[in-house]
Amino acid sequence: MKFRHIAVLAIAGGASASALATNGYFSHGYGMVAKGMGGAATAMTEDTFGGANNPASMVWVGDRMDIGLDLFSPKRQASRSGSAGMGTGMDASSPSGSNLFYIPEFGYNRMLGPDKAIGITVYGNGGMNTDYPGGRIGPGTACDMFNANGPGSHNILCGSGRLGVNLEQLIVAPTFSMKLNDRHSVGASLLLGYQRFKATGLSAFYGFTASAANGLPYDTGNNVTNRGNDSSIGAGLRIGWTGKVSDTLTLGAAYATRMHMGKFDKYKDLFAERGGFDLPENWNVGLAFKPTPQMTLALDYQHISYGAIKSIANGSRTAADAPGMPPGGAANSLGCSSCRGFGWSSVNAVKLGVEYQYSPALTLRAGYNHGSNPISSRDVTMNILAPGVVQDHYTLGMSYALNNDSQLTVSYMHAASKSVKGASIFNSWLGDNATETIKMHENSLGIAYSVKFK
């Protein structure tokens, strides 16, 4: 396959919507093989997704192409209770719409002799989408005091109209890998990132910005919400090592730098660091053990440093959250380097997978993935927008050989329902006792076609 055809496929893979929220907002796995094994892939050498998992694996893959599509369905819900008794009237329950997304994936590898390879991996790194209806809280409530448009019906965060965010992240990873000897390899991937973001329905937070502190408490021209899509690009690097330490045991390790991305200028009053939203540093280690020729057990550990990205890690509560209505109490608490974020902590994930070659044509897979929860109860309000709370993922997968050179791979994932409950941030200004709950579960089903080139 000529490289200009590869470029066309890579661009086509990036022209789609993504909405992930599994290990934080990263995917539970990259590539259909990994997705069927709970995401365990650091020491596996079966497909062309080394740019997302471990670049050193690509040199063991041979001349190969993988192309797939994942149908991803997250179900999100947010609710508030206990405010009616205090007279603020802000109790509400709101499910999120937009519950089905398609996420393509693509990989290609070409050998440069017996011990070197170049390739490319194209994947949706992660993302988050919520879409809550408007009109969940009626007029004559405390929401009227927060909204630039005055009395009326409001969404669950007291804004006008539909409430939600859409974050999409795509990475194109050109990769070089080489064997050091017949058992060890190293590799590196250049991570070229593109991300797109949009927010709607956050008009209740107009008074929280630097613009409000300068005498414009409800400046509808500020860069908080309803500014349409904004995008940014950036780059980083992933390096990796694979070692076949025995005939039955393979080890692997990979490290990805922080990806420094351009700022979301249209939302510089929403995100800390004036619209900054870098992709976090992350690393993973793993092993693959073959107790029998037909069976492989894989185990990965991954760390994602969300806690180092201020726009998502800064606490959602600040010193400005004293009794009294905005803008006096909360002005200048959005957009600056030390301003409020979503309160996310870094995530650690353990991924366990098993693969069994049932017959020469059929390979079966299963897996389990457990990640720590990045969201604590004190940050529930802001994370109505981004309820990435699921922790336990259960997966199944299979590959079926169509002939000696091609196969179909299918994977399924279910992320068990998880909720987080905490005191509403609105209590700080209203003297209320309301609590809020965010809840989420997910399912995905994917299929990929793979071909080996002779």
Residue 427, classed as helix, strand or coil, is: helix
For the chain, the maximum distance between any two Cα atoms, rounded to a whole number of angstroms, is 74
Checking if the pLDDT of 236 tops 90, the result is yes
- Residue 92: the pLDDT is 92
Checking if the pLDDT of 321 tops 80, the result is no
Rounded Cα gap, residues 119 and 64, in angstroms: 9
- Residue 20: the pLDDT is 64
Rounded Cα gap, residues 4 and 259, in angstroms: 26
Q: HEC string of 147-206?
A: CCCCCCCECCCCCCCCEEEEEEEEEEEEEEEEECCCCEEEEEEEEEEEEEEEEECCHHHH
Q: Could you report the per-residue pLDDT of 270-317, keeping only the tens digit for each?
A: 998 889 999 999 999 999 999 999 999 999 999 999 999 999 999 988
Residue 211, classed as helix, strand or coil, is: helix
Domain boundaries, the chain: 3-452
Checking if the pLDDT of 3 tops 70, the result is no
**3-452, superfamily in CATH?**
Outer membrane protein transport protein (OMPP1/FadL/TodX) (2.40.160.60)
Higher pLDDT, 150 or 159: 159
* Residue 100 backbone phi and psi in degrees, to 5: -140, 125
Checking if the pLDDT of 85 tops 70, the result is no
- The CB density around residue 396, as the number of other CB atoms within 10 Å, is 18
Confidence category of residue 206, pLDDT binned at 50, 70, 90: confident
- Residue 222: the pLDDT is 74
* 96 Cα distance to chain centroid: 17
Confidence category of residue 127, pLDDT binned at 50, 70, 90: confident
Q: Could you report the per-residue pLDDT of 4-29, keeping only the tens digit for each?
A: 444 444 444 444 445 566 899 999 99
* Residue 58 backbone phi and psi in degrees, to 5: -65, -30
Place of tokens 């709970």: 38
- Residue 334: the pLDDT is 87
Checking if the pLDDT of 375 tops 60, the result is yes
Contact 185, 50 (CB under 8 A): no
Checking if the pLDDT of 217 tops 50, the result is no
Confidence category of residue 325, pLDDT binned at 50, 70, 90: low
Q: Could you report the per-residue pLDDT of 27-60, keeping only the tens digit for each?
A: 999 999 999 999 999 999 999 999 999 999 999 9
- Residue 440: the pLDDT is 94
Percentage of the chain surpassing pLDDT 70?
A: 89
Please report how many Cα atoms fall inside a 13 Å half-sphere around the Cα of residue 391, on the Cβ side: 10
- Strands (DSSP E) contained in 112-150 are 116-129
Confidence category of residue 214, pLDDT binned at 50, 70, 90: low
Q: Which of 213-227, 353-367, 415-429 has the highest mean pLDDT?
A: 353-367
Angle of CA points 306, 132, 208, to nearest 5°: 60
Contact 411, 66 (CB under 8 A): no
- Residue 336: the pLDDT is 86
